[in-house]
Amino acid sequence: MGEPHPGRVVIGEPELRGRIAELGQAIARDYAGREPVLVGVLQGAFMFMADLVRTIPIDLATDFISLSSYEAGTRSSGRVRLVSDLSIPIADRHVLIVEDIVDTGLTLAHLKKNLEARRPKSVRACVLADKAERRQVEITLDYVGFTIPDVYVVGYGFDYGGLYRNLPYVAALEGA
């Protein structure tokens, strides 16, 4: 088996581009005239967020937050830790969380609660990949790129030990 490595493609580059453009148009329609703050969850969502904002033809602001729920390995620890906070205030703003993946829902639920305590006008979520079958908490996902099977994925921002984020597609990790 050897070292873990990217295997079969789960979401190809053309599918990513097409679906992200669709998400951008839906977000533009829903937030027209509202100037939302898109909050990217680092590090996994940086590629998705960069491509997404380029498809949204309305005024918007961006910021990033960094959370951690993974320790060593490929499964969530269940504990969410704030690593780096927002740099702009979000009170009385419409906030759209941009997340790479939701599986258990614990991290996103924690983040939504944290952001809602800051009194924004609204908090919604846009995720690239949803592993709905792993959900442990009820969470509303307002925009979903793809529903994927319960496999560990790498590429397009998803990593394994810091590797493979730079792949232009999403692939299943093999050998882990």
Sequence-distant (≥ 6) Cβ neighbours of residue 98 within 8 angstroms? 38, 39, 40, 41, 45, 48, 49, 52, 126, 127
Q: Which residue among the candidates 30, 63, 85, 103 is catalytic per the annotation?
A: 103
CB distance 112 to 95 below 8 Å: no
Distance of CA 111 to the CA centre of its chain: 12
Q: In Å, what is the CA distance from 153 to each residue of 2, 106, 128? A: 17, 18, 12
Distance of CA 50 to the CA centre of its chain: 12
103 tagged catalytic = yes
Distance CA 15, CA 82 (A): 32
The phi, psi pair for 72, rounded to 5°, reads: -65, 145
User: Which residues are the active-site residues?
Assistant: 103
